[in-house]
């Protein structure tokens, strides 16, 4: 537990030891993704930048870490029943793949407008897909009904101790491989990756400033951070389709409130510029959401000159047509 106790019923919060447990579970299953550097990025910022390439993770995003850790942590009875997840894409693929590896049935509730490549990949990993309308239906209610009717265990994409702990292993590896950091930039949707990363950074690189980065249009995290309580917004419109969340979680918010330095925002135009930069300079494909952290670091939103700076490139799932359209 961290921070001041909540006046409401106590809720279990993740700790760094949960991140370490996740790292052990993931050791031979997840890729230890590379950490890349770029002379051009360093020259541009005056900093030493270390890019943790989770776009090269299994199923194309860091989400595999949390999903696999949560599936692996299930009791034998829960494993036998199966899991349900709701996701606009990367968590869906990650849960489906984790289920396939562990022999656990997975049902995925996905929005009808999810990128087709993500729907196809989820199906290919063996996930059973249930579609809903992002702007009309309540996906949590749909997942809840499926869970009740079929006895499935819900694994949410961020507000879950084992999911947060699994996501934290990306920053753990980054700090192990790159050494201590002065600052760490992490993209922010519901806050699973950011809260897990903050736990890892606090334990392994004390004093490291941790910044969450959101799309400008969906700045609920920034507003929540400044207000000191969870602020809910309407479904935002942004090309960062992995960060279209409307609120932080009851488990992610307290960790973010206590351990994160600030929340920054970047525009869709800056995301496109950063996708191009990562493609041309790092020779990698990153999806728009995957570029949030790098976009903030490259945009000089906070002073980083002279610092050792970690950046998590969170995912690379974008089909070639969408990529071409955005970069044209």
Give the active site residues.
Answer: 63, 88, 214, 218, 220, 314
Does 191 participate in binding ligand PLP (rule CB under 6 A)?
yes
The nearest distance, CB 293 to ligand PLP, in angstroms, is 9
Does 287 participate in binding ligand PLP (rule CB under 6 A)?
yes
Candidates 82, 111, 115, 189; binder of ligand PLP (CB under 6 A) is: 189
The nearest distance, CB 13 to ligand PLP, in angstroms, is 15
Candidates 41, 49, 85, 193; binder of ligand PLP (CB under 6 A) is: 193
Does 190 participate in binding ligand PLP (rule CB under 6 A)?
yes
Please check whether residue 266 is in contact with residue 292, taking contact to mean a CB–CB distance below 8 angstroms. yes
Q: Mask: binding to ligand PLP, 244-273, rule CB under 6 A, as x and -?
A: -x----------------------------
Of 90 and 122, CB closest to ligand PLP: 90
* Stretch in the footprint of ligand PLP (CB under 6 A) among 113-121, 131-139, 242-250, 253-261: 242-250
Does 118 participate in binding ligand PLP (rule CB under 6 A)?
no
Does 192 participate in binding ligand PLP (rule CB under 6 A)?
yes
Candidates 15, 90, 205, 222; binder of ligand PLP (CB under 6 A) is: 90
Does 294 participate in binding ligand PLP (rule CB under 6 A)?
no
Q: What residues between 40 and 69 interact with ligand PLP by CB under 6 A?
A: 61, 63
Interacting residues with ligand PLP (CB under 6 A): 61, 63, 90, 157-158, 167, 187-194, 242-243, 245, 287, 289-290, 314-315
């Amino acid at each position: 537990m961290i921070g001041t106790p909540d006046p409401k019923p106590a809720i279990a919060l993740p700790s760094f030891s949960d991140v370490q447990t996740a790292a052990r579970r993931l050791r031979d299953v997840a890729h230890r993704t590379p950490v890349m550097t770029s002379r051009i990025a360093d020259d541009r910022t005056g900093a030493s930048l270390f890019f943790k390439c989770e776009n090269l993770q299994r199923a194309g995003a860091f989400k595999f870490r949390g999903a696999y850790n949560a599936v692996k942590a299930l009791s034998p009875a829960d494993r036998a029943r199966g899991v349900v997840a709701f996701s606009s894409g990367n968590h869906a693929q990650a849960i489906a793949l984790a289920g396939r590896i562990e022999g656990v049935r997975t049902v995925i509730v996905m929005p009808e407008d999810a990128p087709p490549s993500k729907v196809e990949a989820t199906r290919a990993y063996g996930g059973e897909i249930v579609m809903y309308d992002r702007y009309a239906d309540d996906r949590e209610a749909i997942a809840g009904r499926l869970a009740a009717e079929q006895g499935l265990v819900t694994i949410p994409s961020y507000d879950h101790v084992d999911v947060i702990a699994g996501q934290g292993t990306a920053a753990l590896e980054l700090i192990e491989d790159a050494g201590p950091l002065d600052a760490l930039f992490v993209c922010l949707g519901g806050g699973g990756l950011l809260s897990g990363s903050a736990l890892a950074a606090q334990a392994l690189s004390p004093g490291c400033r941790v910044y969450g980065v959101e799309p400008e249009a969906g700045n609920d995290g920034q507003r929540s951070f400044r207000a000191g309580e969870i602020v809910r917004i309407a479904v935002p419109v942004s090309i960062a389709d992995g960060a279209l969340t409307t609120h932080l979680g009851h488990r992610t918010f307290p960790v973010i409130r206590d351990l994160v330095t600030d929340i920054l925002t970047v525009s869709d135009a800056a995301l496109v510029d950063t996708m191009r930069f990562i493609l041309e300079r790092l020779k990698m494909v990153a999806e728009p959401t995957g570029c949030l952290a790098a976009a903030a670091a490259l945009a000089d939103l906070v002073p980083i000159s002279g610092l050792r700076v970690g950046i998590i490139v969170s995912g690379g799932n974008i089909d070639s047509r969408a990529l071409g359209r955005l970069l044209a």
